Amino acid sequence: MATSYFRHLTRSLLVGVLAFGATACNKEKPTTVVITVKDAEGRLVPEAHVKLFANPAVPQKPDLTRLLQEGDTKGNGTVEFDYSGLYEQGQAGFAVLDILVEKDTLYAEGIIKVLEEETNEQTLILEEMPD
């Protein structure tokens, strides 16, 4: 009788552990982009305006303006954008975004491939805007 009780308890615990493990494995990790802005001398630049946007050669559906995000760098020269809500598990790939940075008469341009469920980082160097 006691052996049957322990067998039942062991099975129940095993099912509980497996159920917990299965749901924990599928938890979505954050999809973020961190942009670092420096000047020509390599110093971090605070308060630079950073814009991330999709600029495909051929317009696509759905509307890609949902990927547009803007912000200013903090004192450490970085700004972070969170795309977690836009990524769906099982989706093949996420996005390649253009980056535009401006501060006073300085600017920088670049691109970043955003990989899902990762922290994606890019550093841009400001230079003088051409006339």
Evaluate if residue 111 carries a pLDDT over 70. Answer: yes
Q: Answer yes or no: is 23 within a domain.
A: no
Query: What are the pLDDT digits (tens) for 63-108?
Result: 667 889 999 999 999 999 999 887 665 555 678 999 999 999 999 9
Q: How many CB atoms lie within 10 A of CB 87?
A: 19
Nearest CA among 81, 78, 80 for reference residue 68: 81
The pLDDT value given to residue 47: 98
Predicted local distance difference test score (pLDDT) of residue 27: 73
pLDDT, tens only, 11-67: 766 666 665 555 555 677 899 999 999 999 999 999 999 999 988 765 666 666 788
Here the CATH number for the domain that contains residue 89 is 2.60.40.1120
Largest CA distance in the chain: 89
Q: Global pTM?
A: 0.73
**Residue 44 covered by a domain:** yes
Q: Is residue 52 part of a domain?
A: yes
How many domains does the chain divide into?
Answer: 1
Q: What φ, ψ does residue 65 adopt, rounded to 5°?
A: -65, -15
Name the average pLDDT for the chain.
83
The CA distance from 26 to 35, in Å, is 28
User: Tell me, what's the pLDDT at 6?
Assistant: 58
